[in-house]
């Protein structure tokens, strides 16, 4: 018996039976109904056992512009996005929600303009909008909105609904002692704080009937201590919900916007299934009457299987793993686990793009299923001889995509290893999961019979002699060492940048011993490279200072959720962090700094200066081949230095376009 076999068991939820114990939890993808239906169906086709859609809003004080789920016409949209998955034999529950204190009012209709609604006048730390405490008529209106929206789900063909009572949204606002400071019948003790959830449950049951699944999602912990929701308080709420017997399942999530970085932890967090340890007591309290679903940072099936084996949950949710590879379940059931495209946990295409169309660093087809879905893949009508130059993420993805379509592909890499700068990023502290991208692509290329040649220089003569039908140049970019900065329009270089102790970050990453005891790192990009490099150097005993002319160090780490995890570790390593600071001049063993806010200059000892600033495309080969009439295209940083997402997407697009 395989360790994963228990995952393939069916679970009954109300009148519905899941296909297995793995489910796709709610997550925002921002696609129109037909495209959203295709997105969900891709995961259904890939083997997931149950789908819970993203949250739809039940009231104008919470809704997004142009969507009114409480209106009967919305059931047509429900039909469009649930039917394709149901046709695959997968039940679909639709999450319904009100954002409460964490929301913003819609601005497309002046009639809907106003304050956000919440139990008490406490603002969210993200949107910082001061709410209007709800009056009795507001509460009754919201209850009716939940009931009407759920009725529309049933009319549209949904198998059930999930009431969202987590993440600092309205139901969790009422349940939480921190958010709910009311002294009337809707606040005070646990019973009164739970009243809204119970009355919504009753209204939905009355409107939708007993043969329709109604579940509720709860925050296990808001991480505030006793002033907020704690596991103990959740158990008290659960006892009240169980006594009412209104719900067919409970889903556990956690946190609110005060600890938002815990909701979708990036790879750097080191978090894995943080809810599992406390989930068992919740499951035991349910006493087998209804199932428990948990989610949160479960990125592989081994972890899911361990949760089920230990009795911590009946179903386990996996979001990012299914964005990265919709076939993760089928591959495991068919003995193809080694072919799984693993999530790297970078949060760049999914979490950072929240509110935009979903994307994925390792799976460019995510959100584009109507164009590039698995069922739509067709072999090329005529196999061509393809040469890919450069084995970074763009080149590897182009080669893999072209080979998957049946082309004869060769890859030339001038270095000794595949992966380019992604492989180097994987050497930074807490960033090792970047290696998944390269390792998975390399394994796929070898399965497809791609000819991989390292230590191979692509001269114009060698390329011409190879005689490819299509050449794809993915030669990447080089770091600038002049000190040119987008923050200094008055000059093209830092005076003194040509001195021998001024280095680029990759040179230092390859050889930390190249640095002296006092290191100054100059950052222009706001990404993790200079900070991770600073940690490595500081941990080796050096005194390290990181400066940026920007007002914030690590700016790009904030929208991915990395900032709250990584910046304390950088500071704990003893790195001196200096935002709003520019370099006026570099001298022998020192650098002259000045605050961008004004004031005098200062001299800092610097045996080594590392310029982690801008990069320049390595495009000379491309232009030479193009000028000589060869069939050549370029992708990735060779076009313009950007991020891994851009490189992988362009590699995928070029590989698809070769016919």
pLDDT of residue 112: 65
Average pLDDT, the chain: 95
Cβ proximity of 567 and 496 under 8 Å: no
With a CB cutoff of 8 Å and minimum separation 6, the contacts of 465 are: none
Res 110 pLDDT > 80: no
C-alpha pair distances (Å), 6 with each of 12, 13, 91, 313, 417: 15, 17, 19, 12, 39
Return the closest-CA partner of residue 319 out of 570, 85, 520, 43: 43
- 34, containing H or E segment: helix 33-45
pLDDT of residue 66: 73
- 205, containing H or E segment: helix 195-208
378 exposure class (CB count in 10 Å sphere: 0-12, 13-18, 19+) = exposed
In this structure, the strands spanning 16-17 and 12-13 are antiparallel
Phi-psi region of 227 (alpha: psi -120 to 50; beta: other; left: phi over 0): alpha
Q: pLDDT tens digits, residue range 486-497? A: 999 999 999 999
- By three-state DSSP, how is residue 417 classified? coil
pLDDT of residue 108: 63
pLDDT of residue 526: 96
Q: pLDDT tens digits, residue range 559-603? A: 999 999 999 999 999 999 999 999 999 999 999 999 999 999 999
pLDDT of residue 115: 86
At residue 375 the predicted structure's pLDDT band, cuts being 50, 70 and 90, is confident
Q: pLDDT tens digits, residue range 387-420? A: 999 999 999 999 999 999 999 999 999 999 999 9
Res 129 pLDDT > 90: no
Res 1 pLDDT > 60: no
Whole-number Å distance between alpha carbons of 606 and 501:
9
Q: How far does CA 270 lie from the centroid of its chain?
A: 15
At residue 365 the predicted structure's pLDDT band, cuts being 50, 70 and 90, is very high
At residue 2 the predicted structure's pLDDT band, cuts being 50, 70 and 90, is confident
Q: What ranges make up the beta strands (E) of 84-144?
A: 92-97, 117-118, 132-133
Whole-number Å distance between alpha carbons of 527 and 537:
17
Cβ proximity of 362 and 324 under 8 Å: yes
Q: pLDDT tens digits, residue range 310-361? A: 999 999 999 999 999 999 999 999 999 999 999 999 999 898 887 788 899 9
More confident residue, 256 or 328: 328
- Region 205-209: what's the mean pLDDT? 97
């Amino acid at each position: 018996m395989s360790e994963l076999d228990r995952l393939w068991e069916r679970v009954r939820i109300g009148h519905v039976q899941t296909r297995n114990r793995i489910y796709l939890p709610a997550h925002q993808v921002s696609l129109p109904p037909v495209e959203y239906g295709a997105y969900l169906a891709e995961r259904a086709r890939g083997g997931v056992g149950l789908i819970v859609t993203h949250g739809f809003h039940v009231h104008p004080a919470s809704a997004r512009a142009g969507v009114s789920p409480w209106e009967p016409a919305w059931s047509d949209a429900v039909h469009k996005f649930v039917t394709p998955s149901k046709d695959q034999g997968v039940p679909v529950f639709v999450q319904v929600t009100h954002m409460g204190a964490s929301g913003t009012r819609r601005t497309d209709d002046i009639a809907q303009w106003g304050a956000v609604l919440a139990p008490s006048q406490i603002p969210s730390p993200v949107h910082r909008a001061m709410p209007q405490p709800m009056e009795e008529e507001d509460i009754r209106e919201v209850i009716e909105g939940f009931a009407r929206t759920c009725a529309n789900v049933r009319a549209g063909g949904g198998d059930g609904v999930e009431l969202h009572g987590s993440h600092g949204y309205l139901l969790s606002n009422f349940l939480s002692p921190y958010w709910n400071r009311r002294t009337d019948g809707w606040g005070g003790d646990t019973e009164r704080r739970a009243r809204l959830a119970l009355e919504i449950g009753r209204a939905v049951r009355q409107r939708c009937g007993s043969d329709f699944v109604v579940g509720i999602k709860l925050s296990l912990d808001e991480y505030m201590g006793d002033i907020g929701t704690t596991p103990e308080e959740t158990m008290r709420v659960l006892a009240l919900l169980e006594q009412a017997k209104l719900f067919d399942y409970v889903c556990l999530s956690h946190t609110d916007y005060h600890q938002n970085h815990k909701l979708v932890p990036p790879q750097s967090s080191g978090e894995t299934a943080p809810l599992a340890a406390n989930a068992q007591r919740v499951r035991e309290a349910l006493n087998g009457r209804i199932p428990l679903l948990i989610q949160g940072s479960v990125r592989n099936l081994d972890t899911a299987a361990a949760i089920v084996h230990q009795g911590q949950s009946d179903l386990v949710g996996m979001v990012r793993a299914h964005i990265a590879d919709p076939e993760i379940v089928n591959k495991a059931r068919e003995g193809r686990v080694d072919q799984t495209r693993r999530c790297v946990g970078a949060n760049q295409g999914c979490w950072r793009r929240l509110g935009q169309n979903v994307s994925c660093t390792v799976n460019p087809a995510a959100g584009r299923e109507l164009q590039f879905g698995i069922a739509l893949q067709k072999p090329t009508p005529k196999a061509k001889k393809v040469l890919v130059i450069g084995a970074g993420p763009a080149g590897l993805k182009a080669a893999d995509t072209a080979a998957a379509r049946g082309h004869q592909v060769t890859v030339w890499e001038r270095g000794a290893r595949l992966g380019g700068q992604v492989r180097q990023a994987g050497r930074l502290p807490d960033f090792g999961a970047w290696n998944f991208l390269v390792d998975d692509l390399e394994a796929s290329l070898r399965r497809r019979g791609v000819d991989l040649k390292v230590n191979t220089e692509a001269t114009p003569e060698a390329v011409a002699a190879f005689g490819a039908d299509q050449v794809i140049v993915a030669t990447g970019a080089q770091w600038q060492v002049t000190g040119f900065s987008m923050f200094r329009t008055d000059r093209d270089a830092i005076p003194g940048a040509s001195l021998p102790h001024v280095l680029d970050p990759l040179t230092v990453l390859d050889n930390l011993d190249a640095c002296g005891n006092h290191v100054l790192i100059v950052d222009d990009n706001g990404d993790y490279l200079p900070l991770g490099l600073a940690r490595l150097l500081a941990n080796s005993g050096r005194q390290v200072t990181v400066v940026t002319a920007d007002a914030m160090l690590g700016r790009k780490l904030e929208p991915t959720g990395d900032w709250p995890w990584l910046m304390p570790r950088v500071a704990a390593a003893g790195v001196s962090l200096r935002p709003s600071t520019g370099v006026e001049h570099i001298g022998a063993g020192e650098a002259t700094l000045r605050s961008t806010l004004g004031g005098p200059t200062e001299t800092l000892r610097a045996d080594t200066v590392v310029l982690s600033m801008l990069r320049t495309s390595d495009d000379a080969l491309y232009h030479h081949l193009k000028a000589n009439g060869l069939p050549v295209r370029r992708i990735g940083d060779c076009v313009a230095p950007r991020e891994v997402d851009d490189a992988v997407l362009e590699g995928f697009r070029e590989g698809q376009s070769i016919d």
